[in-house]
């Protein structure tokens, strides 16, 4: 039984010299696939380096919406070079964050649109962050999909069942992270049961969002099995079937090239 972590941040800034041990623990737990997601040019480049030397690793290059007001002059060009050169297999993470509102909303929209158009131009999947901004996010994505094909991953989904259905209608895959295991997350688990199995992904968002029973500790991809088990139980599916389906989904999205 194997698993694919569809959203993790594995770079020296977060794990330092421990990264080989983190990967070894993940593989020992059955996690053999990793989508390593960039938030700035530097960690996007680190992710591309990791993908080049480690089997089962794909990377995404992008600038997080909370950081778009702080980027250096060359960062967007560095991200663009990673994806146009083929060193990155996806674009992101990008999107809109109205919770922190760290960056001006117009600037977040501008960078989101840049990422969308880059992904569409190259035929690459788009990794989307949305926090308290799902309506605006879906509206921008709907406009983009009307313009042309776009493979979309809504990572760490926390929306309603109606919003999940709308996202599925747009062709999105929905990623569920560790918070779906929390005792207080019954509503989110219920939403996850409504998502078609062929559109569902699981993720850790490492080093963040540790699931039960390791909540409060630094997260890492080896903890993905806790989220998988929780969701399989909630959906009434055998863990083996759930793991195989979500792994196939992630490979189809991130490793098709």
pLDDT in tens, 103-154: 999 999 999 999 999 999 999 999 999 999 999 999 999 999 999 999 999 9
CATH number for the domain spanning 61: value is 3.20.20.140
Give the C-alpha separation, 126 to 94, whole Å: 8
Is this model's pTM higher than 0.75 or not?
yes
Quote the mean pLDDT of the chain: 97
Q: Is the pLDDT of residue 256 over 80?
A: no
Structure token digits, residue 158: 């926390």
Q: What pLDDT, in 10s, does the model give residues 150-186?
A: 999 999 999 999 999 999 999 999 999 999 999 999 9
pLDDT for 49 equals 97
In the numeric block, the tokens 């070079």 are attached to 81
pLDDT for 212 equals 97
Give the C-alpha separation, 151 to 147, whole Å: 13
Q: Is the pLDDT of residue 257 over 80?
A: no
Average pLDDT over residues 10-38: 95
Give the C-alpha separation, 119 to 180, whole Å: 28
Name the E strands within the chain. 3-8, 31-37, 57-61, 90-97, 126-131, 152-154, 173-176, 200-202
CA distances from 20 to 9, 24, 26, 56 (A): 14, 6, 10, 14
| Percent of the chain predicted with pLDDT > 90 | 96
Structure token digits, residue 52: 């080049």
pLDDT for 230 equals 98
**195-209-226-240 Cα dihedral, nearest 10 degrees:** 40
CA distances from 154 to 30, 122, 163 (A): 24, 19, 11
Q: Is the pLDDT of residue 101 over 90?
A: no
pLDDT for 16 equals 87
Count of structural domains within the chain: 1
Average pLDDT over residues 220-225: 98
In the numeric block, the tokens 């967007």 are attached to 76
Give the C-alpha separation, 211 to 178, whole Å: 4
pLDDT for 167 equals 98
Q: What's the sign of the alpha-carbon dihedral 97, 39, 9, 6?
A: positive
Task: Give the residue numbers spanning the domain of 230.
Answer: 3-22+29-254
Q: What pLDDT, in 10s, does the model give residues 200-209?
A: 999 999 999 9
159 φψ region: left (φ > 0), alpha (ψ -120 to 50), beta (else): beta
């Amino acid at each position: 039984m194997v698993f694919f972590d569809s959203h993790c941040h594995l770079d020296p800034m977060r794990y330092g010299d421990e990264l080989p041990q983190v990967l070894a623990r993940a593989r020992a737990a059955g996690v053999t696939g990793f989508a390593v997601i960039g938030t700035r040019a530097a960690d996007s480049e680190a992710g591309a380096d990791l993908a080049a030397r480690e089997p089962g690793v794909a990377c995404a290059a992008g600038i997080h919406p909370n950081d778009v007001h702080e980027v250096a002059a060359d960062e967007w060009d560095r991200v663009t070079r990673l994806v146009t050169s083929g060193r990155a297999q996806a674009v992101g993470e990008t999107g809109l964050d109205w919770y922190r509102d760290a960056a001006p909303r117009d600037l977040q929209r501008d960078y989101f649109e840049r990422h969308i158009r880059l992904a569409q131009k190259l035929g690459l999947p788009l990794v989307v962050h949305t926090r308290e901004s799902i309506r605006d996010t879906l509206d921008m994505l709907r406009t983009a999909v009307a313009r042309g094909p776009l493979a979309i991953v809504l990572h760490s989904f926390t929306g309603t069942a109606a919003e999940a259905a709308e996202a599925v209608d747009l062709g999105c895959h929905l990623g569920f992270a560790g918070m779906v295991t929390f005792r207080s997350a019954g509503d989110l688990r219920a939403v996850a049961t409504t998502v078609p199995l062929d559109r569902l992904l699981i993720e850790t968002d490492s080093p963040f969002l540790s699931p039960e029973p390791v909540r409060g500790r630094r997260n890492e991809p080896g903890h993905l099995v806790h989220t998988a088990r929780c969701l399989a139980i909630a959906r009434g599916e055998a863990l083996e079937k759930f793991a195989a389906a979500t792994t196939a989904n992630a490979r189809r999205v991130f490793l098709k090239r």
